[in-house]
Every structure is written in structure tokens, then in C-alpha cells.
Structure 1
Amino acid sequence: MRHAMRHRKLGRTSSHREALFRNQLQSLVEKEKIVTTLPKAKELRPIAEKVITRGKHGTVHDRRWVLRWVLKRDLVKKVFDEIAPRFTARPGGYLRIVKLGPRLGDGAEMAVLELVERSEAAAAEPVKESQAPKAKAPKTPKPKKEAKEGAKAEEKQAKPKRGEAREAKKVSTKKEGRAQTSAPKKIGS
């Protein structure tokens, strides 16, 4: 019996789960938006909200508490100097979870965990190459059939015929006029 089930185990040990949340929280602070599974997002949200709330207070104790979860000092500075000031008027609810649907590989429910008020730099995501409109290349005239047939004829002439290849192998296995024997060589004498 699991009385007072407070957290999801997520199929991990407690130390692995804590390391997972630390890594995801650092990515969230850095990029202000992460894509993960829905249960992980639901478990990470309360931790991230506490980190931002501590960032609003700004005491030395709060900085050390945040450093427990966000291990990189430059990201701790970002929490206190950039992220927390955006939410001074908001008493909580700094993050939103947007469901994406099932993942193709295993059908896991995916979600986006993002800050409600994102910075302009983070909000203006770069357009991926696949989404960007591609410029059409100038069309070049296709080579005529005669040129293709000429290239095929040259390839055929370059390849040795079957019989010629076999004869070449036989010659290369012989050593200057005497055939190799199948008897093993004596080593050492």
C-alpha cells in the first residue's frame, strides 16, 4: 500500500528522479520552454514554481536554495535577475503545460512546459530550415540521351569481363613461376 502518494516515481530511483528534475529545470531556465512527457511536466512544475518564488524574494538563503536545484551559477543569476522580476505582480502560476499528443515511438503523452510570460528573445524562436521558404534554384537544361548513352558505353569498356578477371586472379596467386603449396610452413627453423 502506498499511503499519501505525493509524487510519481516515474520508474526511477529517488536520486535518478532528482537528477532528472535538476537537468530539466536547468533547461527550462535556459530556454524558458521544454518538451517532455506529461507526467514529468506535472512533477516538474511545482519545483520550478518554488524556484521562481524564491527568486522573487532574493535573499542569500534563497539563492543557495535555488542553487540546490539549478547547479549552474549563470542560470541562478538569470532566475534572480531576469525571470523572477517578470512575475513580481503574479502570486503564482508562472508556468503552463500545453498537451501535444502521443509520441510516435512509444505513444507517451507529450507536453510543453513553458513560462507564462516569456522574454522577447525566447519568444522569437528561429525558424527551422524545413519550415523556411526555400528559394528555387535556376533550372539547368537536362543532358540529352546521347550524352547519357556515351557515358554508359565508357563504363562498360572500363570494366573487365568475367573471364579476364578470373585469369588475373590466377596469375596473382602464383609466385614468379612456381605455384603455392597447401602444406603449412614451418616456423622457427
Structure 2
Amino acid sequence: MRHRVAGRQFSRDTSSRRAMFRALAGALILHERIRTTDAKAKELRRIAERLITRARRLGEVAEADAKDLSPEDLARRLHARRVVARFLPRFGEKADESGEQVEIDLYEKLFAELGPRFRDRNGGYTRIIKVGPRRGDGAPISIIELIGSEGEAQEEEEEIEMGKGKKAAKKDEKKGKKAPAKAAPAKKAAPAKKAAPAKKAAPAKKAAPAKKAAPAKKA
């Protein structure tokens, strides 16, 4: 039987993996739209769906004043906040319109804003959009966002398209500015090789002198 097949390990131990997803969940609740790898987005979706479901089921109890709640409702709300605290940091920082960093209570946003937003929706609070491979290591990248943040997504997509259009225009301008290629100079004809001097004829050998006839012997 195969064990430990539920969930991805991400080459991390338990504490490191929990810390990573705690930070990712906080970023998703804070910004409602983040960019990460496909595998992390799929695992993060499971956590985000459970957190929002926990806030949605409280209903009016999450927003009511503590004085107006029964002991049972107070216990329910306290238990829900304790469960959420295991997977979500308490505060997050986000830049406002002026560019200053503002501290936001993520518990308050989850229970007071996201819970009522998805009150009539039974699950499926997030959406994963595949972007493509990451430049450098080729890791598949996705955008995970909460349903209802389509306006921001459309603006970001338009900015991306505008950026791509500007890059293409710059490339065309660079191509137009390039000087025409100069014609390669004609190669000079190689000088004709000088004819090798004719070899001198070897001098004729002198004829050997004829041998004198031997004198006849006397009778």
C-alpha cells in the first residue's frame, strides 16, 4: 500500500511547508490575487477554500457584537478564529493609493468581508489561471485569485498586453534603424604564378678515346 501520497511535500519538512503555505494564504487573503507555481497554487486552493468556508458558515455571528451573542455563538466564533489562526497570519501589509504601507487585519477581512461576500456560494471561491513557463528555470506558473476580483485581473492583463505591444514596437524600431548590410569587397585576383625556369640540358658526355691496337706478335 502506498503511504504519504496525499498532498505534495515540496522537498520541505513539515514546519517549513506549513510556514510557506501560511505566508501564501496570508498573501492571497490580503491581495486576493497572487502568482506562484502550479503545484503551490493547487495546494493553496485547498487551504483557502477551507478558510473561507469556515468564515462563511459563521454568517451573522462573525459580524455581531459580542454583547448580543449567546455563549454558544461566542464559543463558535472563538473556535473559528482559533482554527483560522493555524493557517493564516494575523496581520499583513499592503500599499495604499499614496504608496504607504498599511497594516491590515487579515482575520477581520476574512470574517467581515470575504465571509459575507461568499455567503450564497457553496465552494469554488478561487480560480487558477495558467500563465506559462517561468523565464529562467521553466517552472509552470499560475495565477490564483478569489472570485470577484475580475476587475483587477482584467487591468493587469491589459497592462501585460500593453507591455508586450511596446516590446514588439521597440523590436520593429530597432530592425528599421539597422543600417543596410555592406556588400562584401570583391576578392583580389591572386597573381599568376611565375613559370618555373627551364632546366639546363645536361652536358654531353665526352666519348672515351679509342684503345690502341696491340702490336702483332713476331713469328
Note the alpha carbon deviations across 1:138-157, whole angstroms, 9 max, x for none: xxxxxxxxxxxxxxxxxxxx
Specify the SS of the correspondent of 2:141. Answer: strand
For structure 1, which segment, 77-86 or 110-119, has the greater mean C-alpha deviation from structure 2 after superposition? 110-119
Note the alpha carbon deviations across 1:72-117, whole angstroms, 9 max, x for none: 1501110011111111111101011111111011010100000012
Aligned to 2:48: 48
- What is the RMSD computed on CA atoms of the aligned residues? 2.6
Query: Cα distance, 1:57 vs. partner?
Result: 2.4
- Are 1:39 and 2:39 matched, yes or no? yes
Q: Which runs of 5 or more residues in structure 2 are unaligned?
A: 59-76, 92-104, 167-219
In structure 2, what is the Cα distance between the partners aligned to 1:91 and 1:103?
A: 33
Aligned with 1:110 (options 135, 138, 141): 141
Q: Give the counterpart letter for 2:11 in structure 1.
A: G
Structural mapping, 1:94-133, within 5 Å: 94-118=125-149, 131=162
Aligned to 2:84: 66
Query: Cα distance, 1:125 vs. partner?
Result: 5.3
Percent identity (aligned): 45
Q: Give the counterpart letter for 1:16 in structure 2.
A: S
Q: Give the counterpart letter for 2:114 in structure 1.
A: I
Query: Cα distance, 1:119 vs. partner?
Result: 7.9
Higher relative contact order (CA 8 A, sep 6+): 2
- Are 1:18 and 2:18 matched, yes or no? yes
Q: Give the counterpart letter for 1:42 in structure 2.
A: K
In structure 1, what is the Cα distance between the partners aligned to 2:24 and 2:153?
A: 19
Residues 123, 110 of structure 1: alpha-carbon distance in 2 compared, 3 angstrom cutoff: closer
In structure 2, what is the Cα distance between the partners aligned to 1:123 and 1:20?
A: 24
Query: Cα distance, 1:64 vs. partner?
Result: 1.4
In structure 1, what is the Cα distance between the partners aligned to 2:51 and 2:150?
A: 18
Aligned with 1:78 (options 86, 95, 109): 109
Residues 87, 30 of structure 1: alpha-carbon distance in 2 compared, 3 angstrom cutoff: same
In structure 2, what is the Cα distance between the partners aligned to 1:82 and 1:33?
A: 16
Query: Cα distance, 1:3 vs. partner?
Result: 1.9
Note the alpha carbon deviations across 1:9-28, whole angstroms, 9 max, x for none: 11111111110000000000
In structure 2, what is the Cα distance between the partners aligned to 1:50 and 1:67?
A: 13
Aligned to 2:95: none
In structure 2, what is the Cα distance between the partners aligned to 1:45 and 1:84?
A: 16
What is the TM-score with the length of structure 1 in the denominator?
0.62
Residues 119, 76 of structure 1: alpha-carbon distance in 2 compared, 3 angstrom cutoff: farther
What is the TM-score with the length of structure 2 in the denominator?
0.54
In structure 2, what is the Cα distance between the partners aligned to 1:84 and 1:108?
A: 33
